[in-house]
Amino acid sequence: MEQQPFKYHIIALFILSILVFIIYTFANHLATPTRYTINKTAAVYLEQSYRIDPSKSLTLAKFLNDPDARISEPFDTIAWGLKSQDYWLLMKLENKSAESKQLFAHFDNPMIDYLTVYQIDNQGQLVNTFNLGDRQEQLSLFEYSVPHISFAIAAQSHSLLIIKIDTTGISKTPINLYGEAEFKDLLRAQTAIWGIFVGVLIMAALYNLVLYFGIRDRVYLIYIGYILSALILMGSVLGFGFYLWPVALQQLFNHYIVVSNYAIAFFTLAFCAMFLRYHKDKCWRYKLSLALLSLMLCLGIASFFIVEYISSQIFFVVLVFLYIVCITLIYNKLRSGFRWAKFYVISWIPLIIGAAIQPLELTGIIEYSFATRHAFLVAILCEVTLMAMALADRVRYQREKALYHATHTEQTKLLNSAMLKHAYTTLQLNQRPANLCLIRIIHFHSLSHILNQT
């Protein structure tokens, strides 16, 4: 009987190894789509140049007629910034193969306000004009969530794509060209990871809702707020939110993306304080948390009336204080031996890594790829999974604590009369001979100061 739990551990480890293998194999397939752009799979050659327009007054004709003002460098050298300015990008595509090519240009930033693409043929004539962006009307859900265009290049010819980016928020827009098969692979990978993310977070929200109705602890409602904020934020950043909400509502989320950032930060700190039970201590750390929560609430409301590129800079400053306060709260509980703080700390590790990768990728410090683009999404998935373990341990601890108080005397920490009755009844049921001796101690309460020293 003593070796039975060990057998169960072996089975559990075997199941875990199978799941890890499945996740590893699946992740390898998801991490490769952006490696197969058209310049690596066909005889299509690219030349790139760009120009930044702080005045926002540049026109297509002026851009084309002033080549000296353009910077002939790859797009990954562009100094993307949180400023009110336009970006003009030029791509010269030369098809040296003996057959025409059907290409797909993917603009991996569904939060752009206005994105205009002009296609010019080798005679300098304007062939097509494509209007994308979340402020455009009458686009399909596919065009909103995955901004892209489809165009053809004849054999042994060249074509120009001129892209104008006009937005008040995050302007960095990775642009990749794919063949038809590679673009479908990209869509499959995106759809798979989006579906997993949405499914896991909805199940986690329902799981916490069930816990709330069973235990009546508001910490689970706060965590549901965090989950919904993560869904709204990532739905805007990656584009799948257009499939979760009405178009008008998702456009509102995109327009006030900073508010979503404040929401997830607010629920992160509120959950941290409640989960670690600082609301019971009422110490200075709890008061510091309340002060920062009040500040984030006020700034979040103010972000409705502040231009996005200004409010986002304020948010990045507040984010530094959020990390400092959360680390302080967690470190204090770890020092005090708080039982389930260790699971909470482990859940923060992927979240911190993912939260660091996203701004580094947006600022160009880390190279853009499918993996880095979805790093924060995967980090939230890991955090939610690990947090489910922490919440389960919290429920188990509360159940054990309730059982302890039901079977022990608070003053002496000894078993109470209910356990004495249970033990004696068990002996009788097992037909084991037993004698019960009752001893009365006069003035027992005078010993309380000695019993409570430990």
At residue 181, the pLDDT reads 85
Q: Is 431 left (phi over 0), alpha (psi -120 to 50) or beta?
A: left
At residue 302, the pLDDT reads 94
Place of tokens 């709890």: 286
Type of residue found at 187: L
CB-based contacts of 155, cutoff 8 Å, min separation 6: 95, 97, 98, 99, 100
Q: Does domain 43-178 have CATH number 2.60.40.2380?
A: yes
Residue 216 to residues 173, 192, 221, 224, 401: CA-CA distances in angstroms?
Answer: 45, 35, 9, 14, 16
CB-based contacts of 80, cutoff 8 Å, min separation 6: 87, 171, 172, 362, 363, 364
The fraction of the chain above a pLDDT of 90, given in percent, is: 28
CB-based contacts of 356, cutoff 8 Å, min separation 6: none
Residue 179 corresponds to which tokens in the numbers above?
Answer: 């063949």
Type of residue found at 17: S
- Asked if the model's pLDDT at residue 22 lies above 90, the reply is no
What DSSP assignment string belongs to 372-428?
A: HHTHHHHHHHHHHHHHHHHHHHHHHHHHHHHHHHHHB-TTT-SB-HHHHHHHHHHHH
Cα–Cα dist 107/376, whole Å: 19
Tell whether the torsion through CA atoms of 167, 168, 171 and 173 is positive or negative.
negative
Cα–Cα dist 130/93, whole Å: 17
The shares of helix, strand and coil residues in the chain, as percent rounded to the nearest 5, are 60, 15, 25
Cα–Cα dist 92/299, whole Å: 44
Q: By C-alpha distance, which of 387, 406, 400, 399 is closest to 274?
A: 387
Decide: 390 and 220 in contact? Cβ < 8 Å.
Answer: no
**Least confident span in 99-103, 135-139, 304-308, 433-437:** 433-437
Decide: 159 and 121 in contact? Cβ < 8 Å.
Answer: yes
Decide: 326 and 268 in contact? Cβ < 8 Å.
Answer: yes
User: Could you read off the pLDDT of 154-200 as tens digits, one per residue?
Assistant: 888 888 899 999 988 788 888 888 888 888 888 888 898 899 999 99
CB-based contacts of 265, cutoff 8 Å, min separation 6: 296, 315, 318, 319, 322
Q: Give, to the nearest 10 degrees, the angle between helix 375-407 and helix 417-429.
A: 80
Would you place residue 446 in the very low, low, confident or very high pLDDT band (cuts 50, 70, 90)?
Answer: low
- Asked if the model's pLDDT at residue 2 lies above 50, the reply is no
Question: What is the arithmetic mean of pLDDT over 416-433?
Answer: 77
Place of tokens 């257009």: 242
Report the helix count and the strand count for the chain, using DSSP H and E: 16, 8
Cα–Cα dist 182/145, whole Å: 18
At residue 114, the pLDDT reads 92
Degrees, nearest 5: CA angle 365-368-372: 95
Cα–Cα dist 413/422, whole Å: 17
- Asked if the model's pLDDT at residue 1 lies above 60, the reply is no
Question: What is the arithmetic mean of pLDDT over 237-244?
Answer: 92
Q: How many residues does the chain have?
A: 454
At residue 338, the pLDDT reads 63
Q: Give me the residues paired with residue 88 across strands.
A: 51, 164
Buried b (16+ CB within 10 A) or exposed e, 310-346: ebbeebeebbeebeebbeebbebbeeeeeebbebbbe
User: Could you read off the pLDDT of 43-65 as tens digits, one per residue?
Assistant: 677 888 999 998 888 999 899 88
The number of CA neighbours under 13 Å toward the Cβ of 408 is: 11
Domain locations along the chain: 43-178, 408-451
Q: Give, to the nearest 10 degrees, the angle between helix 219-238 and helix 180-215.
A: 170
DSSP-derived secondary structure letter, 87 = E
User: Could you read off the pLDDT of 428-444 as tens digits, one per residue?
Assistant: 788 787 777 777 777 66
- Asked if the model's pLDDT at residue 33 lies above 70, the reply is no
Number of other CB atoms surrounding residue 177 within 10 Å:
22
At residue 453, the pLDDT reads 56
- Asked if the model's pLDDT at residue 245 lies above 90, the reply is yes
